[in-house]
Amino acid sequence: MPNKQLGAFLNSTMGFWAILAALLVLLFAGRSVIKKTSGKVYLGQILVIMALAFLSLVFLVMTIWFPVRGEVSAAVVPRIWIAGIFACLIYLFIHILRKTEDPDEPAGDVGLSFKFMGITLAYIVLMVLVGYFIASLCFLAATMTLLSYRRPLVILAISFGWMLFSYLVFFRVLFVPLPRGILINALFG
> pLDDT tens-digit profile of 105-136?
777 666 788 899 999 999 999 999 999 999 99
pLDDT at residue 1 greater than cutoff 60: no
Among the listed residues 144, 139, 141, 132, the one whose alpha carbon sits nearest the alpha carbon of residue 118: 139
Percent share of the chain, pLDDT over 70: 95
3-state secondary structure of 73: strand
Question: Where are the domains positioned within the chain?
Answer: 3-97, 110-188
pTM of the model: 0.59
pLDDT at residue 184 greater than cutoff 60: yes
Residue 52's pLDDT is 93
Longest dimension (CA), the chain: 61
> pLDDT tens-digit profile of 58-112?
989 888 888 777 777 788 888 999 999 999 999 999 998 888 888 877 776 667 8
Query: Angle CA(77)–CA(78)–CA(81) in degrees, nearest 5?
Result: 90
Mean pLDDT of the chain: 87
Residue 108's pLDDT is 64
Residue 129's pLDDT is 93
pLDDT at residue 2 greater than cutoff 80: no
Distance CA 27, CA 10 (A): 20
Residue 179's pLDDT is 87
By the 10 Å C-beta count (0-12 exposed, 13-18 middle, 19+ buried), 126 is classed as buried
CB contact at 8 A, 155 and 144: yes
Residue 89's pLDDT is 95
Residue 15's pLDDT is 85
Handedness of CA 74, 78, 79, 84 (dihedral sign): positive
Question: Which amino acid makes up residue 17?
Answer: W
Among the listed residues 51, 50, 40, 53, the one whose alpha carbon sits nearest the alpha carbon of residue 106: 40
